[in-house]
Structure 1
Amino acid sequence: MSTDTVRHCPALFLTAPASHQGKTTLTAGLARYHRAQGRRVRVFKTGPDYLDPYILEQASDHPVHSLDLWMTGEDDCRRRLYAAAADADLILIEGSMGLFDGTPSSADLAATLGVPLLAVIDATGMAQTFAAVAHGLTSFRPGLAFHGVLANRVASARHAEMLLQALPPELRCVGTVLRDEAMALPERHLGLVQAQEVDDLEARLQQAAAQIAGTALVELPPAVALRPTFAAAVPPLLAGTTIAIARDKAFSFIYPANIELLAALGATLAFFSPLADEALPPADAVYLPGGYPELHLATLAASQRTAAGLRQHVAAGKPLYAECGGMLYLLDALTDKAGASGAMLGLLPGHATLGRRLAGLGLQSVTLGGGELRGHTFHYTSLATPLTPATHAVRNSSPLPGEALYCHGSIVASYLHLYFSSNPVATARLFTGKATP
């Protein structure tokens, strides 16, 4: 197919009136159902997220990329959908939070991309009010295209009947899904438990797919026209550079797009596991992504071979970029919510404590030597450090200062999770020791 050809692919955007309505479970179930029918399914996640995509990846058997009009940019969103349409039989997009929440919102993205919406509504504790919620979602913003609504966590056949009694005839209900703990996905303080930690995830996905089989979602949604978007060539600014990247259950918050961008920049990537106490691969730079170091304090404190390699790397003046959980690993100590503390690497002076309330949330950007990089922050820990921040991030929807960014020797660290493709040149500077604010 030529690069200037419009591609058509069935597509559906799953949304809800709020978080915790069951969007991820049903998106995963829908992906698994159609995959079981022999269809090629590509799934995307709206906004910054690392946990839901792992579930959706296992359901669809394909990496799940983020779509966000501000963080990743409209062109990036269009390019990824267009590329997916080259071989997909179905494209699914899972929204974030409620349909109209955030700036930009899921509604903004769906309207921009022209993808029809499916409203997933948790029907727990309601009857005819279901129709009012459905009507409000579908009529609040004129011009949005809706494929229909779905009642989730329905108690019984009689409950389903009551839910649909007041639904206007022009509002299509594609089905009702029974409350079913066998397909529910476990959660913890940052969201869903990671896919690699849910031992019976396959069984849960199959149960969700079985629920989908009883709805009208067994039929493919209408095809959406997707047009090509020009992409500038990525310069090989990291050619000849080897980057060692931590990757295991403690350091798993990595956008697939970030890995792809580093490779496109010409870098050679080598992965290692601090939890397994693996030796640091020979590398010119290190990337410590976010994750859950607070859940593995004793193991990380005992990982002396990894620690020695990272300390030698920094002592040699080689670049090390760390974000959120990766930054916590660099500190003197980290305390979990039970009050237990573990000694960390001692490469960045300070101590962080896991709290019970959010300490940082939202889309932010930071300007470095190569320009602006966009990303987000989402954490429950609070950091106490004697270091003076080199700069602060800027919030996308508030004049208040964003997260601090620290430059300490060859280390650049922050709570920010950056989306590298938002600025390839600035990204390259992070791994060549030139990321000066």
Structure 2
Amino acid sequence: MVTPARCPAILIAAPASGQGKTTVTAALARLHARQGRRVRVFKCGPDFLDPHWHRLASGAPVHQLDLWMNGAHDCAQRLHAAAQEADLILIEGVMGLFDGDPSAADLVQRFGLPVLAVIDASAMAGTFGALAFGLQHYRPGLRWAGVLANRVGSARHADMLRKGLRDDADWMGAVMRVQPGTAAANAGTGKPGALLPERHLGLIAAHELPDSLERLDAAADALAATPLGQMTASDLQRWATDFAPPVQPPAVPPPLLQGRTVAVARDAAFCFIYEANLHTLAQLGARVVHFSPLHDAAVPECDAVWLPGGYPELHTAQITANTAMQASLRAHVAAGKPLWAECGGMMALFDAITLADGSTAPLWGLLPGHVTMHKRLAALGPQHLTIAGRHTLRGHTFHYSTAASTAPVVARTARSGEAVAADAGEALYHHGSIHASYFHAWFPSSPEAVAQLLGAQAS
């Protein structure tokens, strides 16, 4: 009989996006990892970029927790497993605490987690206390750990914020605003008080910056001066949470890709990869090999290719210049071998792209059509996609471009709770051995659908 696992855990939330949740979560993970503790970090909701920082900070794999995309059973399984091996579990929330359906607050109440609120206090004083009070009491029964003030201007400002709280015990400290001349200012983040720089899809991934660890250490050092950062192993026990084992053991996918090799693109242009997706491929029996479309001359010897999302629009010159890779991918498709492309991976397959500045660049030309970048979001939200009318994948869409293609559309995504519409949702294009869509799939939601996209026989 599997028993509950007990471990200190906390969800870092905020009243809105952009308050500094990611920086605080990564800083807290780095601080405790430096002290020798085993830290496991999760990200609430679909996100590829924040986990790069959390993995670097904690030294451990980072997985998503989403009551819709994962399902409650999968979330319970991942939390229970983490609690068995960790000294501290950190979960970064998504958007505002009560935003979305399901929200971070729904996850909190499902698993009895305490909430630490991070509030950008750069333009407030007494209202800080009102905001903290509202977050704590808006939904009855919420476990509360306290509030951290972020981007604070001075010690006097911090004192004003603390005095605005109803209960002084809620004060977890203040993190000061980053000043001109610091790493954040030099990186041009455009957001005072931010150590982790951003671009149009979110944070710049940790592996893209030469000083990523130095940035994390600077954030951890700043947090170390706060009551939150000074908590000892004994203090952390106030956040101890019992994680019950899942009611049923996790289902093991059938070995539908046994004996097959799947080549997964992975570099600065193609980096939107859930760790759980790679694990699912391994569970299906696939041998996974990685390659770089930007730098390698050819696709590795394989039976199928997965091109995940990323930033092809930032690397068009390299994509175009690497004619050997283009020829290798073309040969792969001409041989009838499967290729599954998601969002940025799909974009690179088209004939050309119009960038945000109005210029046009050629792409691989394996999928007929043209991509156009926009300065505003073109689509965002949870989606599901049914493959071959039988197996349904869950995931999400998030992109700043639109595509026009003559390739056949064999299916479309739909939002949670909505029916598939002929003129809505993300298209699933099928062209030769290519399947491509803006849709980002969460592979554990339907390993059978993934296996079909990568060449397994329908089951």
- 3-state secondary structure, aligned to 1:93: strand
Root-mean-square deviation (Å): 1.5
Candidates 299, 320, 323, aligned match of 1:301: 320
Q: TM-score, normalised by structure 1?
A: 0.96
Query: Following the alignment from structure 1 to structure 2, what is the Cα–Cα distance between the partners of residues 226 and 137?
Result: 24
Question: 1:58 and 1:144 mapped to 2: Cα distance?
Answer: 30
Question: For residue 208 of structure 2, what is the aligned residue in structure 1?
Answer: 197
Further displaced range: 44-53 or 233-242: 233-242
Question: 1:177, CA displacement in angstroms?
Answer: 1.1
3-state DSSP class of the match of 1:236? Answer: coil
One-letter amino acid of the counterpart of residue 32, structure 1: R
Whether contact under 8 Å (2:257, 2:456) holds in the other structure is no
**Residue of structure 1 equivalent to 2:360:** 341
Instruction: Please name the residue that 1:162 is paired with.
Output: 160
Report the CA distance between 1:398 and its aligned residue: 5.4
Uncovered stretches (5+) of structure 1, i.e. residues with no partner = none
Task: Check conservation: 2:125, 2:164, Cα contact below 8 A.
Answer: no
Q: Alpha-carbon deviations, 1:270-295, whole Å to 9, x = none?
A: 11101103311111111000000000
Per the alignment, residue 304 of structure 2 pairs with 285
Written as runs of structure 1 = structure 2, the 5 A alignment for 1:311-322 is: 311-322=330-341
Deviation digits for residues 156-209 of structure 1 (CA, Å, limit 9, x no counterpart): 111011112221127611111111254611100000011111222111111111
Residues 244-277 of structure 1 show CA distances to partners (whole Å, capped at 9, x for unaligned) of 1111000000000000100111001111101103
Match of 2:172 in 1: 174
Q: Which residue of 1 aligns with 2:34?
A: 36
The change in CA–CA distance for 1:162 and 1:95 in structure 2 (over 3 A counts) is: same
Distance 2:297 2:310 in 1: 17
Distance 1:124 1:398, change over 3 A: farther
1:359 corresponds to 2:382: no
Aligned residue type for 1:416 = F
- The DSSP-based 3-state class of the residue aligned with 1:406 is strand
Q: How does 1:30-109 map to 2 (within 5 A)?
A: 30-109=28-107
- C-alpha deviation, 1:418, in angstroms: 0.1
Whole-Å separation in 1 of the counterparts to 2:323 and 2:222: 47
Which of 205, 225, 230 aligns to 2:242? It is 225
Cα distance in 2 for partners of 1:305, 1:435 equals 33
Q: Which amino acid aligns with 2:273?
A: I
| Distance (whole Å) between structure 1 residues aligned to residue 168 and residue 75 of structure 2 | 31
User: CA separation in 2, counterparts of 1:178 and 1:19?
Assistant: 19
Contact 2:162 2:168 in 1 (8 A): no
> Is the counterpart of residue 215 in structure 1 residue 215 in structure 2?
no
Q: How many residues align?
A: 434
Does 2:259 correspond to 1:240?
A: yes
Distance 2:356 2:164 in 1: 46
Deviation at 1:45, TM superposition (A): 0.3
Instruction: Using structure 2 for the length normalisation, give the TM-score.
Output: 0.92
Identical residues among aligned pairs (%): 56
Aligned residue for 1:422? 445
Contact 1:277/1:304, CA 8 A, preserved across alignment: no
* SS of equivalent to 2:97: coil
- The 5-angstrom pairing of residues 271-282 of structure 1 reads 271-282=290-301
Out of 394, 405, 412, which is 1:374 matched to?
394
Structure 1 segments (4+ residues) deviating >4 Å: 397-400, 433-436
Give the SS at the match of 2:84: coil
Counterpart of 2:431 in structure 1 is: 408
SS in 1 for 2:357: coil
Query: For each residue in 1:13-60, what CA deviation from the matched residue of structure 2 results, as whole angstroms up to 9, or x when unmatched?
Result: 000000010001010110011011110100000100000000111010
**Does residue 393 in structure 1 map to residue 413 in structure 2?**
yes
Query: Does structure 2 retain, via aligned residues, the 8 Å contact 1:151–1:175?
Result: yes
In the aligned structure 1, how far is the partner of 2:169 from the partner of 2:220? Answer: 24
- The Cα of 1:397 is off from its aligned counterpart by 5.6
8 Å contact from structure 1 (residues 374, 419) kept in 2: yes
Work out whether residues 408 and 431 of structure 2, in 8 Å CA contact, stay in contact via their aligned partners in 1.
no
What is the CA–CA distance in structure 2 between the aligned matches of 1:145 and 1:98, rounded to whole Å? Answer: 16
Partners of 1:8 and 1:225 within 8 A in 2: yes
Give the whole-Å Cα distance in 2 for the aligned partners of 1:398 and 1:140. Answer: 29
- Flag structure 2 segments of 5+ consecutive residues without an equivalent: 184-193
Confirm or deny: 8 A CA contact 1:403 1:414 kept in the other structure: yes
- By how many angstroms is 1:235 displaced? 1.4
SS of 1:346's partner is coil
Distance in 2 between the 1:57 and 1:295 partners?
24
Q: Residue 12 of structure 2 aligns with which residue?
A: 14
Aligned to 1:149: 147
Does the 8 A contact of 1:96 with 1:106 survive in 2?
Answer: yes
Q: How many angstroms apart in 1 are the aligned matches of 2:152 and 2:216? A: 18
Match of 2:25 in 1: 27
TM-aligned CA distance change 1:168 to 1:435, over 3 Å:
farther
C-alpha distance in 1 between matches for 2:323 and 2:97: 46
